[in-house]
Amino acid sequence: MYSLDGKVSLKPVTEIFCYKAISESSIAAINRVMKWAKEQDRNRILIDTNLKLGIPMENVNKIAGPFVEAWAYEVFNDYLEVNLDKNITKVEPGSRLNLADIIMHISDVDSSVSNTKIQIDVKATSYDIKGSGKSPNITSFARIRSEFLKNEDLVFLILSIKHRVYSKRNEETKMMMGVMEIMDFKAYDLKYLKGSDISYNPALGTGQIQIRDIHNVGYENRSSEEICELLDKKCIASKKGYTQWYDYAKQYGWLND
């Protein structure tokens, strides 16, 4: 295990031996689902409103997230109803206490691993708004750091979805219909992001892990232990500093007794 100052003894962070294969298979599975949605013309969310001007475009980014998250889960669920996927066995919506929005069950990656729950965090960004997707909050530092320590098979994926919104009149109902159209997507593993793409914002709770540009990222191979080391060092380099990190380490059980 790495040492931050030679004084603290950190519990080792391990990972399942076929982690990379599971991660790659999961991303490939997400890509299949999203491409299926486009092929089936399922890449639009329709929102009827009696507002004469339709959806307030200047504030649409504030309501887009929940719509896109709900759409993504329904697409995964509908995909499995009509397709026998080689890896995906089941999908579940993430609850309020879950790490992510969608729990995807993956199997048949390695003969010794029967089933792995993949955490998928759905993030919506505007195709039309400049700067959308810059440094969004992804997850709590202390929580994701603790999950990597507790679960050797934790796979935390980000599904970045770009959308554009426009309004048109429904001639039958005479109501304005908002159209939220999925324009692009990108799926990747938080653990394999380039270090310079990951940042730490100390402002909320134990701090939030952020991505500098959620739809434009680089990649580095690293282990679960190495991602924990990276996150620890980013926390320590923030204004909260080593003392606050050490308090977290004691509180969340990262240290050997």
pLDDT of residue 79: 97
In-domain check, residue 12: no
Q: Name the residue among 67, 190, 59, 74 with its Cα closest to residue 137.
A: 190
pLDDT tens profile 101-138: 999 999 877 766 667 899 999 999 888 767 676 778 89
Structural domain contains residue 43: yes
Count CA atoms closer than 13 A to 85's CA, side-chain side.
26
Cα separation, 105 vs 94, in Å, equals 12
Which residues make Cβ contacts (< 8 Å) with residue 213, sequence separation at least 6?
A: 133, 134, 135, 197
Instruction: Please give the structure tokens belonging to residue 46.
Output: 């329709």
Q: Is a pLDDT exceeding 70 seen at residue 146?
A: yes
Instruction: Point out which residues pair with 48 in neighbouring strands.
Output: 177
In which order are the strands placed within the sheet that holds 102-106? 44-49, 176-189, 155-169, 116-126, 102-106, 88-93
For residue 91, tell me if it sits in a domain. Answer: yes
Residue 231: predicted pLDDT: 97
CB contact at 8 A, 46 and 215 = no
Q: How many residues does the chain have?
A: 257
For 17, the token pair is: 């031996």
**Contact, 160 vs 186, CB < 8 A?**
yes
Q: Which strands sit side by side in the sheet containing 137-140, from one edge to the other?
A: 137-140, 208-211, 198-201
Q: CB count, 10 Å around CB of 75?
A: 21
Q: What is the pLDDT of residue 73?
A: 96
What are the pLDDT digits (tens) for 66-111?
Answer: 899 999 999 999 999 999 998 999 999 987 777 899 999 998 777 6
Residue 224 inside a domain? The answer is: yes
User: How far is residue 257's CA from residue 183's CA, in Å, rounded to a whole number?
Assistant: 50
Classify residue 5: in a domain, yes or no: no
CATH number of 178's domain = 3.40.600
Angle among Cα 27, 24, 142 to the nearest 5 degrees reads 80
Residues with Cβ within 8 Å of 108's Cβ and at least 6 positions away in sequence, in order, are 86, 87
Whether residue 119 contacts residue 103, with contact meaning beta carbons closer than 8 Å, is answered with: yes
**Out of 124-133, 180-189, 224-233, least confident range:** 124-133
14 in a structural domain:
no
Q: Residue 2: inside a domain, yes or no?
A: no
Written as six digits, the tokens of 82 are 């009509």
Domain that holds residue 183: 19-251
Total count of domains within the chain: 1
Tell me whether residue 9 is in a domain: no
Confidence (pLDDT) at 202: 92
Contacts of 36 (CB under 8 A, 6+ apart): 42, 75, 79, 83
Between helices 60-82 and 19-39, what is the axis angle to 10°?
A: 100
